[in-house]
């Protein structure tokens, strides 16, 4: 070491050994972890009072038949994962933390709005962006195909003497946009439904009932 300067190649100083009580503490912590993990794993093999997972609203995966096949291991893992001890309690705690601490929905296709309102984002999680916000494009060709299909059905039903009236139930975001989070805003002035209704109106063979005006008027009097 040169006076006033440290050697850049010198190794860092070795820290002092941890006190003996730290070793005992670590051993106890490891033993508690192993016991808790083993207990949760063994609890997977206890008889189940219900075949439904309440937190996920689905049926528990069944135990696979004992057989030396490729499907056995992944099937066993799914069944075991659905049954390990305290699973439901841990999921509920995890979901509560996401909702209350971070304001995030634990379901990927559900959006939490104002006042605890829930908005469905579609099976693929993009319906809100596509049909309400307009950040994902909906081509005129797609809408034209919908109109053509509706017209085909109308012609067939007319040949059978059946009246055909078309209506589309608007989603919650259309009727209650004020309950959406502040960041959810429309990018385009006309929604795909606006464009579709306009196309239907130009087809004289179709009769369409737009429910939006009636629902928007009714929501001033009661929850619709």
178-201 pLDDT, tens digit each: 999 999 999 998 999 999 999 999
Angle subtended at Cα 125 by Cα 121 and Cα 126, rounded to the nearest 5 degrees:
85
Helix (H) or strand (E) holding 95: helix 87-96
- Whether 169 maps to a domain, the answer reads yes
Range of the domain at 35: 22-93
pLDDT at 84: 85
Query: In angstroms, rounded to a whole number, what is the distance separating the alpha carbons of residues 199 and 183?
Result: 30
> Which tens digit of pLDDT belongs to each residue from 11-46?
777 877 777 778 888 899 999 999 999 998 888 888
- pLDDT > 90? residue 146: yes
160-181: average pLDDT? 94
Mean pLDDT of the chain: 89
| Buried b / exposed e along 128-162 (16+ C-beta atoms within 10 A) | bbbbbbbeeebeeeebeeebeebbeebeeeeeeee
Q: Are residues 141 and 211 in the same domain?
A: yes
Do residues 181 and 112 touch, judged by C-beta distance below 8 A?
A: yes
| Total domains, the chain | 2
pLDDT at 221: 95
Q: Are residues 80 and 154 in the same domain?
A: no
- Whether 119 maps to a domain, the answer reads no
pLDDT at 19: 76
- pLDDT > 70? residue 144: yes
- Whether 84 maps to a domain, the answer reads yes
pLDDT at 17: 76
pLDDT at 4: 56
Q: Are residues 85 and 147 in the same domain?
A: no
| 144/5: higher pLDDT | 144
- pLDDT > 60? residue 1: no
Q: How many CA atoms lie within 13 A of 204 on its CB side?
A: 0
> Which tens digit of pLDDT belongs to each residue from 105-129?
988 899 999 999 999 999 888 999 9
Question: Of 77, 93, 109, which one is at a domain's C-terminal end?
Answer: 93
Question: Of 93, 109, 143, which one is at a domain's C-terminal end?
Answer: 93
């Amino acid at each position: 070491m040169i006076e006033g300067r440290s050697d850049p190649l010198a190794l860092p100083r070795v820290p002092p050994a941890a006190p003996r009580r730290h070793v005992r503490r670590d051993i106890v912590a490891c033993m508690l972890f192993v016991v808790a993990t083993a207990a949760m794993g063994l609890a997977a093999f206890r008889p189940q009072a219900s075949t439904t997972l309440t937190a996920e609203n689905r049926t528990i995966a069944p135990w696979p038949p004992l057989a030396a096949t490729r499907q056995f291991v992944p099937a066993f893992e799914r069944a075991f994962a659905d049954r390990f001890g305290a699973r439901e309690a841990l999921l509920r705690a995890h979901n509560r933390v996401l909702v209350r601490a971070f304001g995030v929905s634990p379901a990927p296709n559900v959006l939490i709005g104002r006042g605890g309102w829930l908005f469905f984002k579609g099976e693929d999680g993009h319906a809100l962006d596509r049909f309400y916000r307009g950040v994902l494009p909906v081509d005129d060709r797609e809408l034209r195909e919908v109109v053509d299909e509706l017209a085909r059905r109308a012609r067939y039903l007319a040949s059978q003497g059946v009246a055909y009236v078309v209506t589309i139930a608007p989603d919650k975001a259309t009727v209650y946009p004020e309950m959406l989070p502040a960041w959810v805003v429309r990018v385009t002035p006309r929604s795909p439904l606006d464009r579709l209704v306009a196309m239907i109106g130009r087809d004289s063979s179709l009769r369409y009932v737009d429910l939006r005006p009636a629902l928007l008027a009714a929501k001033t009097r009661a929850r619709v």
